[in-house]
Structure 1
Amino acid sequence: MPPGYHSAATGPPTAYQAVKRGAGVRDLSAEGRLGVSGADRADWLQGLVTNDVKALESGRGCYAAYLTPQGRMLSDMRILALDEAFLMDVPATNVPLLRERLEQFIITEDVRLWDRTNELGRLAVHGPDSPRVLAQVLETTEPIDPEQLASLSEHQHRRARWLDTDLVIAGSNDLGTRGFDVYLPPPRLPQLEAALLEAGASRVDEATWHTLRVEAGRPLFGVDMSEETIPLEAGIEHRAISLTKGCYVGQEVIIRVLHRGHGRVARRLVRLIEETGEGPSDRGPDAIAPPQEAGSEPQDVPRFTRDAVIAAGDREVGRVTSAAWSPDAGRSVGLGYVRREFAESGTRLTVLSRNEHVEIVEITVASL
């Protein structure tokens, strides 16, 4: 599984509550980053990805996808328009494929595409107190108003300087709360992380990050989306697709579904919330928490798992793609695909997982 997915358990409560009530920090450098520079970079990338990158002014950004000619996803990505280049956040496993595919379209254009994964680290800082914590650390070099950081919209970014290092700070809604991604040279990243922890942030482990992502309803490529996924099935069209830009790879299929099919696809990604929030002691013998490391805090596991069958009566109508135990909700939450006729908010379904039938009291179409 790619970074950001965890098999089952919720991490330590302190990390979870830090993001919910304070500030949490996580090193996301293991994810991939590509750079695109050159005088023709905007025109070139405009014809390849689903969103309108030509409309981006320096300091802005967008979420987008790169599709096959059949309209299926090869990758999703975040694109930041820096002064001198585009910076693209992509799944690490997709970096070689994207470089190979995209470089084929560089013919006479003044474009350079390169792997920046080892050039720039990425540190995520999330939670309602994240502007204050980040500003407190940065002010050791230059004064910065926490409200200025808090005003950054998703993908909007600015430059800053810390010690002798240039940073890029981008707004992020990946966990459903105020957050930032800080890009900087990898040798400086541990020092910045330590300073953020000293200023009051808590380190966020992979299991907690997974739980927060699932709670926020954010699909993850390689888990909730794959090379078989049409963006409309995953509900990302409002964030990732421009309906006013020119042609891009796979556009014909997307427009046909939207205009002729009125946006109807065979399945839709939905959020799942179980009917009751039973604790681990109320679950069956197969629903036990995994072994804990010595000294670690107790963890909870969801009552259903990835790839569990979603049923309406005795009919299979879908599968779970992500599952987590929500400490705030006190119940299992998840993401999964269901047939379109069952993808209506309020539909009651059942997840068949382990030795249990877990009643789903609420589903919401995942269109974040």
Structure 2
Amino acid sequence: MSVFDELAGAVRDGDVIAHFGNPIIEQRELAHGEALVPLTDRVLVEVAGEDRLGWLDSFTSQSVAGLAPGESTELLILDPQGRVEHAAGVLEDGSSVWLIADAGDAEKLVAWLQRMVFRARVTVTMRADAALVGLFTGGDAEARITASAPHGVPLLWRDPWREVQPGGHQYAVTAGHPAADYTWSVAVVDEASTLTGPFAGALAAEALRVAAWRPRWSHEVDERTIPHESDWIRSAVHLNKGCYRGQETVAKVHNLGHPPRRLAALHLDGSDVVLPVPGDPVLSGENEVGRITSAALHHEDGPIALAILSRRAPVGDLVVRSEGVDIAAAQQVIVPADAGATADVPRLTRLSRRPVAEDPRTRTDDGAR
């Protein structure tokens, strides 16, 4: 149960409010900046103390040491091999850093951070009772919220996915990235019961996220994920900051190699009523080449999905198998198979091909040996 459960028309699906009666209409209203989304699947974490920014900067993928009050960004915590363990939105308010994490990751994230405190002047606290709402800024919804401001700065996190962040890099090769209009934001509100509609559910928010190719910890991350595979360097990795855990893998794959898997967008045949679910296999012929990570029914594009594919998966049409039904899928490449090896790294001439320097001691006065 949450503070949002008393909202009229709320229909729950597990831990989330899935919709308020009509997900497609809700999605249009959300995209136009009119609707608010109760985020019962996100958790707020407060990192307080005077060392907070430098401390976070020392072991996360993002450069946060210089964040000014009111600035938003995103970070990843990687394991020593560069695989994604945790992800969070980041908002600095001048006295605390506020992290917004997927509910399934929040407890482990907090426990990990608390183990990393050592002698740093930092405290880490999960604010599990905080009410979070999602919205697209620039419309009526933004005017209907009053974000909490415990230290004088409104807690409104603006998703950085809309454009490539300083120090980041985009692998997607496209004339117009679908995230260009993705003004998704998350607000912390004090009085959730006083919010007024229209409201939208998780189905609407997820459809717009999938259409923007936006990765999420709860869907696109597994035990093998590195940030390159889902183009996450775009918003959550600063390639020019100092060392941090997993940085060697990030630099190596970006500069010299290619990620073993790649994220793709799929436009699905809508003639069947079956919508894939995360984990459904993606096939090329009868060969499995990947798995669905997210799927949704978009108000304009129809059924769409994100899938993590093998780097060697063909770039043409594929098939998704769900509930025994084969669904034709037109593929749109997000991360190309040749992503990585982007830096102009100087190559040394092989030793065997170098000219041998002449030793003057072997020469006679007339130049003969």
**TM-score normalised according to structure 1 size:** 0.73
Residues 194-234 of structure 1: CA deviation (Å, up to 9, x unaligned): 2xx2xxxx211222222222222222212221333111122
Q: How does 1:212-291 map to 2 (within 5 A)?
A: 212-261=208-257, 264-274=258-268, 276-278=269-271, 283=272, 287=273
1:291-320: per-residue Cα shift (whole Å, max 9, x none)?
xxxxxxxxxx52x33322212223211111
Kindly provide the amino acid, as one letter, of the partner of residue 306 in structure 1.
P
CA distance in 1, matches of 2:330, 2:212: 18
The structure-2 alpha-carbon separation of the partners of 1:306 and 1:113, relative to structure 1 and needing over 3 Å to count, comes to closer
Worse-superposed segment, 204-213 or 72-81: 204-213
Q: Is the Cα contact below 8 Å between 2:89 and 2:157 reproduced in 1?
A: no
CA distance in 2, matches of 1:133, 1:325: 23
Question: For the residues of structure 2 that align with 1:311 and 1:209, how far apart are their CA atoms?
Answer: 27
Equivalent runs, 1:54-133 vs 2, <5 Å: 54-118=65-129, 120-126=130-136, 130=139, 132-133=140-141
Residue pair 1:306, 1:321 contacting (<8 A) in 2 also: yes
Aligned length: 304
Q: Which amino acid aligns with 1:362?
A: Q
Query: Where does residue 193 of structure 2 map in the other structure?
Result: 190
Report if the CA contact (8 A) 1:29-1:117 is conserved: no
Alpha-carbon shift at residue 327 of structure 1 (Å): 2.8
Q: Is residue 270–residue 343 contact of structure 1 (8 Å, CA) maintained in 2? A: no
| Cα separation, 2, equivalents of 1:126 and 1:4 | 19
Q: Deviations over 1:244-265 (max 9, x none)?
A: 111111112222222232xx11
2:158 to 140, 161, 171: 171
Question: Unaligned 5+ residue runs, structure 1?
Answer: 139-157, 288-300
In 2, Cα distance between the equivalents of 1:20 and 1:97?
32
Say if 1:3 and 1:30, in contact at 8 Å, map to a contact too.
yes
Aligned residue runs from structure 1 range 280-359, under 5 A: 283=272, 287=273, 302=275, 304-329=276-301, 331-342=302-313, 344=315, 347-359=316-328
**How far, CA to CA, are the matches of 1:127 and 1:366 in structure 2?**
28
> What is the aligned partner in structure 2 of residue 294 from structure 1?
none
Distance 1:240 1:50 in 2: 7
One-letter amino acid of the structure 1 residue matched with residue 201 of structure 2: D
- Of structures 1 and 2, the one scoring higher in RCO (CA 8 A, sep 6+) is 1
1:323 partner SS: strand
d(CA) in 2 for partners of 1:366 and 1:89? 26
In structure 1, what residue type is equivalent to 2:263? Answer: L
Name the structure 2 match of 1:24. 35
1:182 and 1:104 map into 2 onto residues whose CA distance is 28
Contact 2:15 2:41 in 1 (8 A): yes
Looking at structure 2, the residues matched to 358 and 136 of structure 1 have their Cα atoms a distance apart, in angstroms, of: 41
C-alpha distance in 2, partners of 1:137/1:184? 7
Counterpart selection for 1:36 from 47, 55, 63: 47
Moved more, 234-243 or 214-223: 214-223
Letter in structure 2 aligned against 1:190: S
Determine helix, strand or coil for the equivalent of 1:248.
coil
On the 8 A contact 1:11/1:208 being kept in 2, the answer is no
In the alignment, the residues of structure 1 paired with residue 228 and residue 314 of structure 2 have an alpha-carbon distance, to the nearest angstrom, of: 13
Structure 1 residue 339 displacement after superposition: 1.1
Residues 30 and 204 in structure 2, CA contact (< 8 A), matched pair in contact too: no
Partners of 1:166 and 1:184 within 8 A in 2: no
Against the structure 1 CA distance between its residues 366 and 26, is the aligned structure 2 distance closer, same or farther, given a 3 Å change threshold? farther
Q: 1:47 aligns with which of 35, 52, 58?
A: 58
Q: Shift in Å at residue 97 of structure 1?
A: 1.5
Give the aligned partner of residue 4 of structure 2: none
Q: Which residue of 2 aligns with 1:291?
A: none
Matched, 1:135 2:129: no
Gaps (5+ residues) in structure 2? 1-12, 162-178, 337-369
In structure 2, the CA distance between the partners of 1:12 and 1:38, relative to structure 1 (3 Å rule), is: closer
The amino acid that maps onto 1:318 is G
1:360 to 2:329 alignment: yes
